[in-house]
């Protein structure tokens, strides 16, 4: 059996670090957008109180958890899904899938069509979470990049494109 | 086709194909409760870096992979015995096959042994059947293959077994591991897939589901094989070669998809005239089986349509596309299909400088041996009439179409 060997595939520390940063920033941006953007506010208003959703990659993250408390306030709840009671959990089948998503080589609908993610939870709530993610990506990314990340780039007024965008980015940075 | 009064179809295989398909593999394996797979492959696949691509897909999964890359033409039941001990000693729970026919055959036989007792192999050899599902098995095809890897057939060292339980659980087709190959091997894969696909149309037990798979297999081969071989022979600079490689990946993926689908079709329809005769012609000539089967295919089509009276006109649709199919009179459709296969073979003969033969004479088979081959095939496969087999072989010898 000279031709046999055992291999430990190891991890991808740089990719993980990049994804953890991106998820942290997007999580905080969702929190910010819920205060600044009417569409995001409306989406969250439709969701039940105490609603929590997570975006993660199998088998062990990185992850992002966002929730709405009983007072209706949206909060980025951190990067751990352990012990949380999640209403919607969107899991990419591999970290590579999440990396493709956050390097904007594939949009969420394309990743879904290519069977790269599975959702645990109610479909309408998962769709709402995807719509929120799409709006936040439009706020965070320049138009040519955002076009790659979402299905259809929206037509927004000037205020939303300039003032709201600045506020979402600023609030995401300072975490307010 | 008319809906049959009764039919059955079974394909227990999950197929994943396309960009990043390998990255889905760990979660697909986890869904089968497999945590420690043993990868079986050939040395050349390790040297080409294909194992590296596979290992890359398992990063972050905290899984230990076993890799055995010693499978070659000399692999026999002794090797299976050694692998059996290795599998149990190291606690593996599944098999990943990275390669083609020989590796897959070894893995299928090994899976019978590791899923039960080693005596099961002896029992199967004596005519016993496999009655329970085996351990999870994944098949990752490379560009060269036999077209039966995804079927339930396995043959190693004289031990031939057939069971639905031998079909792989998962087939993952990723362009990353489909590297450029010797054109003869590519042609062998393509013609084997084409033969099994077309034979489904000629089979008595064909049903709408097998024909759907068969149609796709025929479409992918006819529309990709020739261009893939032609372009692989053109000398290019580095930049143009890189651009071409991008397109070639799509064609190779289509061809390998065809080969996998041909295996699913083969598993539910069995052998036809061309594949039964082709196996013996390959033995007699030393040419690969796929090439021998492909050579005999148009003559088997002629016999099936013109002598047995089977309607093969619908074969034109995957070959020519729906528009051409619709504007061709029904009476001409079979002629188009059979001539398309002949044209493909003649093109391949020309492109490969004669390495892919057009006639049995090109294969350097003597006319005297034809009767023996026909007789042997007829004895082995009761559905093949000896006189019809001889008709096919004699016409294939001269390259002369069979007329009614």
The confidence score (pLDDT) of residue A19 equals 94
**CB-CB under 8 Å, A1 with B68:** yes
Do B195 and B343 share a structural domain? yes
pLDDT at B404 > cutoff 80: no
Chain B nearest-CA distance from A97, in A, is: 8
| B394 in a structural domain | yes
More confident residue, A91 or B2: A91
φ and ψ at A105, to 5 degrees? Answer: -90, -15
- pLDDT band (50, 70, 90) for residue B343: very high
The confidence score (pLDDT) of residue A36 equals 86
Do B262 and B187 share a structural domain? yes
The confidence score (pLDDT) of residue A78 equals 85
Do B127 and B30 share a structural domain? yes
Query: pTM of the entire structure?
Result: 0.88
Domain boundary among B128, B161, B177: B177
Residue B75 domain boundaries: 14-177
| B56 in a structural domain | yes
DSSP-derived secondary structure for A20-54: HHHHHHHHHHHHHHHHH-HHHHHHHHHSPTT-EEE
The confidence score (pLDDT) of residue A71 equals 81
- pLDDT band (50, 70, 90) for residue A139: confident
Arithmetic mean of pLDDT, B343-351: 92
The confidence score (pLDDT) of residue B297 equals 94
φ and ψ at A158, to 5 degrees? Answer: -65, -40
Rounded CA-CA distance B307/B118 in Å is: 48
Nearest to B67 among A7, A16, A93 (CB): A7
| Residue A11 with chain B: CB contacts under 8 Å | 59-60
Rounded CA-CA distance A35/A168 in Å is: 9
Do B345 and B200 share a structural domain? yes
Q: What domains can be seen in chain A, in order of their start residue?
A: 13-174 (3.30.1050.10)
The confidence score (pLDDT) of residue B170 equals 94
Arithmetic mean of pLDDT, A136-159: 84
How far are the Cα atoms of B99, B170, B252, B311 from residue B46, in angstroms, in the given order?
Answer: 10, 21, 20, 47
- What are A64's strand-pairing partners? A55
Nearest to B59 among A10, A93, A116 (CB): A10
Do B23 and B100 share a structural domain? yes
| B157 in a structural domain | yes
Contacts of A25 (CB under 8 A, 6+ apart): A140, A172
| B72 interfacial to chain A (CB closer than 8 Å) | no
- Which of A130-139, B119-128, B251-260, B355-364 has the weakest average pLDDT? B119-128
The confidence score (pLDDT) of residue B252 equals 92
Looking at residue B272, which CATH number applies to its domain? 1.20.1090.10
Rounded CA-CA distance B194/B374 in Å is: 22
Do B246 and B316 share a structural domain? yes
Chain A nearest-CA distance from B139, in A, is: 19
pLDDT at A175 > cutoff 80: no
Model confidence pLDDT, tens digit, residues A34-76: 888 888 888 888 888 888 999 999 888 799 999 888 888 888 8
Three-state secondary structure call for residue B115 = helix
**Cα-Cα end-to-end distance for chain B:** 23
Do B377 and B297 share a structural domain? yes
| B3 in a structural domain | no
pLDDT at B36 > cutoff 80: yes
Burial of B215 (0-12, 13-18, 19+ CB in 10 A): buried
- Which of A158-162, B15-19, B161-165, B286-290 has the weakest average pLDDT? A158-162
Model confidence pLDDT, tens digit, residues B73-131: 888 888 888 899 899 888 899 999 998 888 999 999 999 888 887 777 778 777 778 88
| B332 in a structural domain | yes
| ipTM of the shown complex | 0.81
Contacts of A21 (CB under 8 A, 6+ apart): none
| B70 interfacial to chain A (CB closer than 8 Å) | yes
Q: How many domains in chain B? A: 2
Domain boundary among B145, B177, B209: B177
Kindly tell me the sign of the dihedral angle through the C-alpha atoms of B382, B387, B388, B390: positive
Q: Which residues of B136-156 are buried (b: 16+ CB within 10 A; e: fewer)?
A: bbbbbbbbbbbbbbbbbbbeb
Domain boundary among B161, B177, B193: B177
Do B190 and B123 share a structural domain? no
Do B204 and B349 share a structural domain? yes
| B120 in a structural domain | yes
Do B127 and B199 share a structural domain? no
Looking at residue B137, which CATH number applies to its domain? 3.40.50.1970
pLDDT at B245 > cutoff 90: no
The confidence score (pLDDT) of residue B320 equals 93
The confidence score (pLDDT) of residue B17 equals 93
Task: Tally helices (H) and strands (E) across chain B.
Answer: 16, 8
pLDDT at B256 > cutoff 80: yes
| B9 in a structural domain | no
- Half-sphere exposure of B375 toward its Cβ, with a 13 Å CA cutoff? 5
pLDDT at B3 > cutoff 90: no
- Which of B122-126, B197-201, B247-251 has the weakest average pLDDT? B122-126
The confidence score (pLDDT) of residue B161 equals 86
Rounded CA-CA distance A66/A40 in Å is: 13
Q: Please provide the average confidence, as pLDDT, over all residues in chain B.
A: 89
Do B95 and B191 share a structural domain? no
| B17 interfacial to chain A (CB closer than 8 Å) | no
- In which order are the strands placed within the sheet that holds B137-141? A4-7, B65-68, B37-41, B94-99, B137-141, B170-173, B14-17
- pLDDT band (50, 70, 90) for residue B204: confident
How far are the Cα atoms of B11, B268, B368 from residue B8, in angstroms, in the given order?
Answer: 10, 9, 42
Rounded CA-CA distance B328/B312 in Å is: 14
Model confidence pLDDT, tens digit, residues B38-71: 999 998 888 888 899 999 999 888 888 999 988 8
| B403 in a structural domain | no
Do B227 and B353 share a structural domain? yes
Arithmetic mean of pLDDT, A77-98: 88
């Amino acid at each position: 059996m000279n031709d046999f060997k055992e291999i430990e595939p190891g991890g991808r520390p740089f990719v993980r670090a990049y994804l953890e940063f991106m998820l942290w920033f997007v999580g905080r941006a969702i929190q910010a957008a819920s205060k600044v953007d009417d569409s995001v506010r409306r989406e969250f208003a439709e969701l039940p109180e105490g609603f929590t959703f997570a975006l993660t990659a199998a088998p062990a993250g990185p992850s992002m958890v966002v929730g709405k408390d009983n007072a209706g306030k949206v909060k980025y709840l951190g990067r751990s899904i352990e012990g949380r009671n999640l209403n919607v959990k969107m899991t990419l089948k591999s970290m590579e899938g999440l990396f493709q998503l956050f390097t904007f080589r594939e949009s969420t609908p394309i990743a879904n069509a290519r069977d790269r993610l599975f959702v645990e939870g109610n479909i309408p709530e998962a769709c709402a979470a995807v719509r929120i993610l799409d709006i936040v990506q439009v706020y965070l990314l320049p138009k040519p990049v955002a076009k790659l990340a979402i299905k259809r780039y929206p037509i927004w007024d000037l205020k939303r494109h300039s003032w709201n965008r600045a506020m979402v980015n600023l609030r995401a940075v300072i975490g307010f | 086709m008319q809906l049959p009064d009764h039919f059955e179809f079974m394909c227990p295989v999950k197929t994943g194909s396309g960009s990043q398909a390998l990255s889905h593999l760990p979660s697909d394996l986890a869904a089968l409760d497999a945590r420690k797979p043993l990868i079986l492959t050939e040395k050349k696949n390790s040297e080409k870096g294909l194992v590296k691509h596979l290992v890359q897909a398992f990063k972050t999964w905290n899984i230990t992979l076993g890799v055995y890359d010693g499978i070659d033409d000399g692999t026999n039941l002794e090797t299976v015995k050694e692998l059996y001990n290795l599998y149990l000693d190291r606690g593996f729970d599944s098999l990943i096959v990275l390669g083609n026919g020989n590796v897959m055959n070894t893995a299928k036989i090994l899976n019978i042994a590791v899923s039960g007792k080693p005596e099961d192999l002896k029992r199967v050899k004596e005519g016993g059947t496999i009655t329970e599902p085996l351990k999870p098995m994944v098949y990752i095809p490379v560009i060269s293959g036999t077209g039966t890897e995804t079927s339930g057939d396995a043959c190693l060292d004289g031990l031939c077994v057939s069971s639905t339980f031998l079909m792989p659980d998962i087939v993952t087709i990723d362009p990353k591991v489909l590297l450029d190959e010797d054109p003869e091997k590519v042609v062998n894969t393509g013609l084997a897939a084409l033969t099994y696909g077309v034979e489904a149309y000629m089979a008595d037990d064909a049903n709408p589901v097998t024909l759907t798979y068969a149609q796709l297999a025929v479409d992918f081969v006819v529309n990709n094989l020739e261009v893939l071989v032609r372009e692989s022979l053109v000398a290019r600079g580095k930049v143009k070669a890189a651009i071409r490689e991008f397109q070639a990946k799509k064609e190779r993926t289509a061809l390998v998809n065809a080969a996998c689908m041909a295996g699913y079709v083969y598993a539910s329809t069995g052998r036809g005239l061309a594949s039964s005769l082709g196996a013996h012609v390959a033995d007699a000539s030393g040419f690969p089986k796929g090439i021998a089967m492909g050579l005999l295919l148009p003559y088997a089509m002629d016999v099936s349509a013109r002598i047995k009276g089977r309607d093969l006109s619908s074969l034109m649709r995957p070959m020519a596309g729906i528009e051409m199919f619709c504007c061709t009179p029904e009476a001409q459709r079979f002629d188009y299909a059979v001539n398309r296969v002949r044209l493909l073979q003649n093109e391949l003969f020309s492109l490969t400088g004669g390495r892919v033969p057009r006639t049995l004479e090109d294969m350097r088979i003597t006319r005297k041996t034809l009767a023996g081959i026909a007789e042997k095939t007829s004895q082995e496969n009761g559905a093949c009439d000896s006189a019809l087999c001889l008709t096919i072989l004699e016409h294939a010898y001269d390259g002369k179409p069979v007329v009614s």
